[in-house]
A and B are shown apart, each in its own frame.
Chain A
Amino acid sequence: MEIISQLIVNSVIAGAIYSMVTLGFNLIYGTAQFFDLGYGVLTAVGGYAVFYFSKMLGLNIYLSIVLGVLIAGLIGFLIEKIVYERLRKQKASSMVYMVTALGVMTLLQAVISILFSSQFQVFPVTINANTYQILGGVITGVQLITLIISILIMFGLVLLLRFTKFGKAVKAVSDDVEVSKIVGIDTDSIISKVFFLGSAIAGLAGILVGFDTGIEPTMGFSLLLKGVIASIIGGIGNIYGGVLGSFLLGFIENFGIWKISGEWKDAISFAVLIIFLLFRPEGILRKK
């Protein structure tokens, strides 16, 4: 019974981290309409920015977190402005987008490795060193904060998209870019702000993972893959579907390795992805 409680806690934590990555990924996919494989590396950007400000410059950890989130958002925004916006104007094919995104990911990963080495790093301080008991399972303070932040981001995004004018414009661009232009929406401007927002969320996810398990330049790739799997399971481009897929993936992964080795975790994730691609490629919730 204790093991099951711990597995549930682990699943929820994994789901919370995946959902943050998925939320930003789906937001960008919805408006820019391409698979941004370079998105994952922004988690590392956020993590390393906090590492730089807190450990190398000795700044306050909370200030470092704010700067880390802003820098991840800013870099995502600049990539969109400098690279993807130009590709859109050239009406580039999806293959060109994918190769470019891979290039962006490789470039940023390489820059991080050059600046900080490929070594695994940890932050100098933690934001919460306590551990708590929830339903018989143990959860660390950082994991609890991660869970709370992911829930806040999820509700914040839902409120933003549902009730603000910006949200309506984002939905409109996701629905039909050409009509959006005709009704006076500056689609490039909306997309670049969405990149900022999505990238900042990725940066925050990377920072929280950094507090939980540490950072390394390639950390974004595995997070991105899980985010993509969760998006496809839940329904690509659908905010709610992405969150559902994330928590479902968290549970499948953790309960999948209950009786077997933990190394099967990724194999189970990808098996689930293949099953969905074969039998329900549109995901659990169709794009609404």
Chain B
Amino acid sequence: MEILKTKGIAKHFDGVHAVDSLSIGFEKGKITGLIGPNGSGKSTLINLLTGVIKIDGGLVVVGNNEEIKRLLPHEIADYGITRTFQDVHLFEQMRVLDNVLVVLTKRNVFASLFETHKKFHLARAEEVLIKVGLWEKRNELAKNLSYGQRKLLEIGRVLAMQNGFGDDSDIFFFDEPFAGLFPEMRKIVISVIQDLKQKGKTVILVEHNMDIIRELCDHLIVLDSGKLLAEGLPQHVLSQKSVLEAYLGE
């Protein structure tokens, strides 16, 4: 079952079609790799599906056929969608622990006004920070972390994100989560992604390392010039001539 679909979704910048009438779907409980050469539209697609930029045409279908023409960034969390960024985005001036606690904040402002974090929230934050190996750093300001630790904190934050019903998020976009990580940190991220799959979550992984794609992904989508070039099982897709020509330059 496809948990997230695009129907002819489009985005253009000054006449350039970054995403060109693209219709694809992401299977629930699967890890889908999203690859393509630079400028193929991967990041634009993620930005469209997470409300960071406005959709010019087409629509998005989330879950039970809910068709959406305009996603607002602060509403995607309610749909159970969350993401990391290629260049890490954190609350730099906040402690590591607060970077996680803040996403456990109720979205109703008045409800949250006098509500403090309960043991449950702290326990959840602790669980997530232990998972990404940052519990010892919980009182450090985010800006003082190393590059790899920052990536892990961002991943920890998406793990703590909740949907509109107060449950864990359902759809996770990871935009090059392994870039610049030491081998030990890579193992942590691989473990996080595999755990999500085990829990039936949907993961969309943008990655340039084909070994990781082969190891983790159940399904692979290849974009080129904002269009779908190929999709299917990773080993099949990665052996297609058109993919090798367009993406791998072989």
Check if B90 is an interface residue, CB within 8 A of chain A: yes
* List of B residues within 8 angstroms of A181 by Cβ: 51, 72-74
| Given A176-B92, A182-B52, also A166-B112 (CB < 8 A) | yes
* List of A residues within 8 angstroms of B75 by Cβ: 184
A8 to B112, CA, bound (A): 40
* List of A residues within 8 angstroms of B107 by Cβ: 184-186
Query: Are A164 and B90 touching (Cβ within 8 A)?
Result: no
> Which of the segments A134-142, A187-195, A210-218, A275-283 contacts the partner chain?
A187-195
Check if A169 is an interface residue, CB within 8 A of chain B: yes
A and B contact pairs by CB, cutoff 8 A, 27 listed? A160-B113, A164-B112, A165-B106, A165-B115, A165-B116, A168-B117, A169-B105, A171-B91, A171-B98, A172-B94, A172-B102, A176-B89, A176-B91, A178-B73, A178-B89, A181-B74, A182-B73, A182-B74, A182-B76, A182-B89, A183-B82, A183-B102, A183-B161, A184-B74, A184-B161, A184-B162, A193-B113
Check if B93 is an interface residue, CB within 8 A of chain A: yes
Q: Whose C-beta in chain B lies nearest to the C-beta of A193?
A: B109
* List of B residues within 8 angstroms of A178 by Cβ: 52, 73, 89
Check if B227 is an interface residue, CB within 8 A of chain A: no
List B residues 47-89 near A (Cβ within 8 Å).
50-52, 72-78, 82-83, 89
Check if A257 is an interface residue, CB within 8 A of chain B: no
A269 to B104, CA, bound (A): 44
Q: Select the residue from A163, A168, A169, A189 with max chain B CB neighbours within 10 A.
A: A168
Q: How large is the interface on A (under 10, 10 to 19, 20 to 34, 35 or more residues)?
A: 20 to 34
Check if B182 is an interface residue, CB within 8 A of chain A: no
Check if A179 is an interface residue, CB within 8 A of chain B: yes
Q: Select the residue from B52, B104, B112, B115 with max chain A CB neighbours within 10 A.
A: B112
Q: Which residues of B contact A (CB under 8 A)?
A: 50-52, 72-78, 82-83, 89-94, 98, 101-107, 109, 112-117, 157, 161-162
Check if A175 is an interface residue, CB within 8 A of chain B: yes
* List of B residues within 8 angstroms of A186 by Cβ: 74, 107, 109
Smallest CB separation, B59 vs chain A (Å) = 21
* List of A residues within 8 angstroms of B76 by Cβ: 182, 184
Query: Are B101 and A179 touching (Cβ within 8 A)?
Result: no
What 14 new A-B contacts, CB under 8 Å, besides A171-B94, A183-B103, A186-B109? A163-B116, A165-B112, A166-B113, A168-B117, A169-B105, A169-B112, A175-B93, A182-B82, A183-B77, A183-B161, A184-B74, A184-B161, A185-B74, A193-B109
Check if A259 is an interface residue, CB within 8 A of chain B: no
| Given A164-B113, A166-B112, A190-B109, also A184-B77 (CB < 8 A) | yes
Smallest CB separation, B3 vs chain A (Å) = 18
